[in-house]
Structure formats: C-alpha cells, structure tokens
C-alpha cells in the first residue's frame, strides 16, 4: 500500500508579485519574488522528475498567499474536498481552485458551513487515516464537516492538535512512507503518532519538518544537513529545494502543491 505518497498528479500556482503582502507570524524580511520563482521552478522540476504530471496555474495577484495551494483542498483518490480557509484573506482561494479540481476529478465536494474553517496544511493523510490538527486556522466544526464529507471514502478522520504558536499541523510533520512520519519532538510528544514509526528532525532543524514524500523522492527544504543525513541513512532518496523566501511567510514544501491520483 502506498496511496498516501504515490501520485500521478500535482497542482501548483505561480507566486504573484503581491506575495510581499503574504501573511506571516513574524516579520523576518520581505520575500524576494525572483528568488521565490527560481525555487518554485526547482520544486516543480523535482515533482516532474518522478514522472508525475504537474498542472501549473497562473499567479493570482488578488490573493498574496495563493502560491500555497495546499491549503485550498484535500485530494484523495476517490475525490477532492474544497477547504474553507480560516484566514479571511485566503477564503477566496478555495473557489479559484474548484474548477481545476473538477477538470481532474469526477467527485468534488466542499466545506460549506458558515462556522466551519479548515486548511489543507492541517491535514496529514496516511494509509489508514486522515489526521487533522485543530489550529488557529482549522476549527472543530471544520473537522466535523470534513469527517462527514469523506465518511463514504473509507478513511476515518482523527482530530489532533497543532502545537500552540505553530501555523499548521504539517508545519511540524510529514509523511515519509506508509508507516513513518518525520516530526518535531514538540509535536510527537503530544502522542498523536502512536502506532507509527517516528523520525525526529534534528535539534535546531525544526523548519525542515515540513517536507514531502512524493513518489520515490523526499523533497525537503535546503539547509538542514543533520536531518538530511538521518533520512539518507534511513534509506530515503532526498532532493533539496531552496525555501528561504517561502519560509519568510511560514510556508514550506507541502504548502506549494496539491498531490493526488484522481479516479475519474
């Protein structure tokens, strides 16, 4: 079983010039658009190198954070669920994604409840379950609505918690294979990964916990040598991509794509 990390497709969206107005928890500098574009191109090259088809969407100036497409949808083999982002400036991004999902999927559903908020960055799909971290962007109503929407697709939803001060659940963890999760110690300490094998990111390298397993590659942000060495030792094939500019906006490897194998 490997449906949780073997994918035929990905969707990305080009960063827009308005990215300088993107949301951030702490101001650590203005993102450089041309460097971000170069990193983004490297990221797409890495996805394509695994044989996947990558749909590259045009930049959306009206939505500064729209390069972070992961937050707009949950894509499973059976269908896609359009999210309802908890950041008011990002709500409209979900509607922008809907037609692209409908072009690839026969079954597209949507979080619709007025009080429901949920962002894809809070969702980690494994072979056996969908973990959703409650966070400043994802509330209990959003998680309950998601659970009802996917009830007939066979994977149960389990509500967990994103650590305080951390943007998304997957800011602090990634799926490495069907049984293994890369995690910060602070997140794994909550006990949410019981039953999985956990590899901790190295001390001081917490920012690389947001990596992705995409087909045969683990794509991780550049500049985290201790964690990279540990993952190579564990047998994973690594590819590094620069993330300095997205990191200024609390974004990482998972945020930059939707990854899926649609059943049409």
Q: Which residues would be at the binding site for ligand CIR (CB under 6 A)?
A: 22-24, 65, 68, 70-71, 87, 90, 120-121, 167-168, 171, 249-251, 254-255
For tokens 């359009």, name the residue.
82
Residue with nearest beta carbon to ligand CIR = 121
- In what side-by-side order are the strands of the sheet with 237-241? 212-214, 217-221, 237-241
Of 9, 39, 100, 168, which one is the catalytic site residue?
A: 168
Q: Look up 200 and say whether it is catalytic.
A: no
The secondary structure element, H or E, covering residue 230 is helix 225-233
For 109, the token pair is: 């559903």
Of 32 and 107, which has the nearer Cβ to ligand CIR?
A: 32
Residue 91 CB, nearest approach to ligand CIR (Å): 11
Q: Is 255 designated active site?
A: yes
Q: Give the separation between CA 41 and CA 14, rounded to whole angstroms.
A: 9
Q: How far apart are CA 61 and CA 206, in angstroms?
A: 31
CB 260 within 8 A of CB 7: yes
For ligand CIR, give the closer residue by CB, 142 or 251: 251
**By C-beta, is 1 or 20 nearer to ligand CIR?**
20
Active-site positions?
168, 255
């Amino acid at each position: 079983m490997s449906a949780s990390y073997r994918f035929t497709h990905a969707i990305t969206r080009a960063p827009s010039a308005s990215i300088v107005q993107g949301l951030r928890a702490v101001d650590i500098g203005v993102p450089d658009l041309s460097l971000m574009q170069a990193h983004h191109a490297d990221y797409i090259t890495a996805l394509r190198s695994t044989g996947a088809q990558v749909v590259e969407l045009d930049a959306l100036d009206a939505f500064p954070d729209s390069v972070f497409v992961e937050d707009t949808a949950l894509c499973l083999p059976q269908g896609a669920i359009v999210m309802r982002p908890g950041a008011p400036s990002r709500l409209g991004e979900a509607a922008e994604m809907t037609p692209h999902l409908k072009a690839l999927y026969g079954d597209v559903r949507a979080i619709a409840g007025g009080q429901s908020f949920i962002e894809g960055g809070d969702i980690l799909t494994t072979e056996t379950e969908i973990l959703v971290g409650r966070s400043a962007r994802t509330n209990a109503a959003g998680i309950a609505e998601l659970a009802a929407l996917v009830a007939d697709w066979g994977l149960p939803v389990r509500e967990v918690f994103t650590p305080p001060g951390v943007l998304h659940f997957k800011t602090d963890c990634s799926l490495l294979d069907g049984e293994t999760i890369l995690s910060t110690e602070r997140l794994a300490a909550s006990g949410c990964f019981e039953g999985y094998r956990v590899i901790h990111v190295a001390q001081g390298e917490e920012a690389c916990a947001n990596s992705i397993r995409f087909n045969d590659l683990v794509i991780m942000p550049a500049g985290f040598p201790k964690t990279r060495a540990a993952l190579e030792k564990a047998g994973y094939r690594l590819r590094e991509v620069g993330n300095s500019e997205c990191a200024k906006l609390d974004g990482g490897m998972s945020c930059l794509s939707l990854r899926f194998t649609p059943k049409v």
